[in-house]
Chain A
Amino acid sequence: MSITLDQITKRYQGAPVVNDVSIDIGDGEFFVLLGPSGSGKSTLLRAIAGLTGVDHGRISLHGRDVTHISARDRGVGLVFQNYALFRHMTVADNIEFALRVRRMRARQRRERRKELLRLVALEGMDDRLPSQLSGGQQQRVAVARALAHKPEVLLLDEPFGALDAKIREELRRTIREVQRELGITTILVTHDQEEAFALADRIGIMNLGRLLELGRPEDLYARPATRFVATFLGAANLVLAQHTARGICIGADPVMALGGSTASGNRDHEVVAVLRPEDIEIAPSREVLHASFLGLGTVEQQLFVGANERLRVRLNNPGDAGQVVTSADGDATDALLEVTRTQHDRRNYPVAAGQTVTLGVRRLHVLATPLSSFTACATSEAQALAISEEPLLVQLATRMKTRVSTRIEPALQQIANAVAPDSPGAECAPFAGVAVINTDPGAVHTVRWLLQLGAEAVLLLPPHTPSPARVLIHWVDEPARRATLAVAASLLRHVSAQAVYVGILPNDDEAGRPDGMRALLDARSEAQAVHGLEIRTELGFGDVAAELTRRLAESPDQLLILGVADISVLTQRFATLLSRTANPLLVVWQPGDSPQPR
């Protein structure tokens, strides 16, 4: 491996800017770090270059641990966004800078310079000053300068940011050619997905300091695992759908026979489907539709963009499931389906705004997230509304590009007083997604009831909780591991917090320790292998509920994700924790081998 990053963390004023990022980059690979501004990608690049220290983790270049080695001795080349050329020096002096520092002889310096100028197609520009060159030429000089001392790794920090589209394309080609010719391992940082597609062997997508997904551009585009990647890499409609025994249903009929497998087994449940604008077909009627039927829609807006036509279509009577939560432009408030068609399709079936059309789905991708939507649940409307406006919930929903609905459930009152039956009656409508309730003394019964009604997870929210800086993860029984990790992975991609798996042993004796350590390592490697999520691990001792309570009490900005397989464990052992805690709590239940109430 050329570049190995192992759990790199960089904090700024306590908050992680880069959060447990691990990447392996192969020899000669062109790797692109893609993310919005503030996602920590530039900080990570500076850390690799040695311009910024890291708070945790190790960086190796070609097998050599360089974590504590200064930038000067790392043997990397770095190209800055605004060129950072030495303005009082000529092109020749700029390029020869690294060679002069290394006391290379004048003749060899000149030869190397000529070679580099040829490489970036700037022959004969030796005696110009940077101010006499165009932006594109200056950036070429910067590339030549960065390569002068034959670095093993080339780092590019948004190198095309300040250039216009045509020059950008040209320079992009040059950089790709230079990279191929030299076979140099390269990392490029950008916020431009088009650039990433054009250059990358592999792309790593960052948001909120975390590396969300990593893979080949075509794989990430076709099968994103997270909402963020689905909407950031190209355009996507996110639609809430039902995963049923018949397949994925957006309207009444299944649009796809096969969906992604999820944690919930055979139960019907809510999922998030990704519909690319180009995968939606528009036809005059159901009979002439080639793809599977989605529903009827009304064209609201029509735009021409060069080769394609862009339409925004409202689904008629989508029902509760089948709600478009985010259209391609990320606007969640007025969710319309975004559709693009080729000019060829447009000529075959021209449509106008206001027209009713039949929509079909050519291809659909179901995200593997168990956290599809949020439902604030309370006995009165005012209370439900208050929960839905909790800052933490609003922040989560916005980042997850999903909706928060409210549900008034009078039955909760009886449950809180512990007079309700153990399992919910058939008259209650099933739950979908995550139920959100306020912490109160009877919370444990409410949680149990909601989970049995079909909620994927229950979020207990004490009033005015801050956004968590640490997320503790613990599952009580081994069968709950898979579901708990899935929920944790999904949640952690949307909060800028450190993830810690807490393993707890009954008592601190030498005999038990190896088992405890193995459990920690298993948890970490499963999170990494299955979800691409980096977590820390900590070991605790004693009673599980007491130990978790103690750790939560240390600071209010910690969130606990608690997984259980046997639901009676919740009422027996965690009643106090659930009803007393001042921390937000996410309870996950995966019915294991125990008999299901339904």
Chain B
Amino acid sequence: MAAVRAAAGDTYVQPSVLPGFGLTFGFTTFFLSAIVLIPLAALVSKAGSMHWEEFIHTVLSARALASYRLSFGASMVAATINLVFGFILAWTLVRYDFPGRKLIDALIDLPFALPTAVSGIALTTVFAQNGWLGQYLALAGIKVAYTWIGVTIALTLIGMPFLVRTVQPALAEVQRELEDAAEILGAGRFYVFRRIILPTVLPAMLTGFALAFARGVGEYGSVIFIAGNLPFKTEITPYLIVIRLEEYDYHGAAALGCVLLSISFLGLWAINYLQHWGRRRSMATGR
């Protein structure tokens, strides 16, 4: 890298098949600014124009705090569920060839394509107290619709493709021979899984987890139908923001948005750092 930089007269330009570093870099900057950075800045500046006490009052109100807990808690639980079941799904799709595998593979992407409101309505139909599954769960004393469980189920559905799609390619790269080698050396199946397969796909799993979590925090459409949106109980933060907007309280909405943004960013950064640290550690022991 250093050599290339020196040769190119200490710029960042590297030889490439696509010409025009200036053009592409300019476009990247512009695109990112116009689509991501400027709207976010506007959000922050809107919130920033509030009085400090007013901001604190809005952001730390009991209703807001309850909504954070639900939003982040349910997202975390949903992403964790996906971590386990998404892995199993990906494993099945990568390792086994069975009739209908292609179909199931295509079904995985459906939550991406479906308008989220549709999935919300569908889930409500199934899990409402008189729904297909809901009536039996109700007999067992489990209420899904209009509780935090419903929220979690909706977020699990939405986050599932993120995990499967990130873990799938990583699993496909685990060579069968590595498992064969471990088996010949005397390792049992669980040992092989724990010491050989898991370490190899863990980075991909963490990435998938982070993506599913982030998606869960921002999810709105599918949740509001099944959640019931009772303040303090089943009200997610995005819904609270919409309520503020409907009350023409733009500042309040912006303030809540800022909180959502910061926590999500911190969470994503933490996971990224964890991955980076893991990689560094394995490299460091190598030296």
Contact = CB atoms under 8 A, between A and B. Distances in A.
Contacts of A127: 285-287
A129 B286 contact: yes
A49 B180 CA distance: 10
A82 B188 contact: no
B233 to A, nearest CB: 45
Q: Which 5 A-B pairs have the closest CB atoms?
A: A129-B286, A98-B185, A84-B177, A84-B181, A101-B186
Given A88-B282, A98-B186, A149-B186, A71 B180 contact: yes
Interface string B255-287: 000000000000000000000000000110111
B184 A50 contact: yes
Contact of B286 (A86, A128, A148, A149): A128
Interface stretch (A73-81, A224-232, A255-263): A73-81
B191 interface: yes
17 contacts: A49-B180, A51-B184, A72-B184, A72-B187, A73-B186, A77-B184, A78-B181, A82-B175, A84-B175, A86-B181, A86-B182, A97-B182, A101-B187, A127-B286, A128-B286, A129-B282, A129-B283
Interface residues of A, number: 31
B54 interface: no
B249 interface: no
Given A88-B199, A132-B286, A72 B188 contact: yes
A51 B178 CA distance: 12
A88 B183 contact: no
A145 B182 CA distance: 10
A2 interface: no
A86 B178 contact: yes
Interface of B: 175, 177-178, 180-188, 191, 195-196, 199-200, 282-283, 285-287
Contacts of A82: 175, 177
Nearest to B187: A101
Contacts of A132: 286
Given A51-B183, A72-B183, 10 more contacts: A49-B184, A72-B186, A72-B187, A78-B184, A86-B181, A86-B195, A88-B282, A101-B186, A102-B186, A129-B282
What is the interface of chain B mostly: helix, strand, loop, or mixed?
helix
Nearest to A148: B185
A50 B185 CA distance: 12
A141 to B, nearest CB: 12
A149 B183 CA distance: 13
Contacts of B283: 129
A538 B184 CA distance: 37
A88 B181 CA distance: 15
Nearest to A75: B186
B187 to A, nearest CB: 5
Interface in A44-91: 49-51, 70-74, 76-78, 80, 82, 84, 86-88, 90
Contacts of B178: 84, 86
Nearest to B175: A84
A80 B180 CA distance: 10
Contacts of B182: 86, 97
Contact of B191 (A76, A101, A148, A149): A101
Contacts of B285: 90, 127
Contacts of A145: 181, 185
Contacts of B177: 80, 82, 84
Contact of A84 (B180, B186, B188, B287): B180
Contacts of B195: 86, 97
Nearest to B186: A101
Given A84-B178, A88-B200, A71 B287 contact: no
A186 B16 CA distance: 50
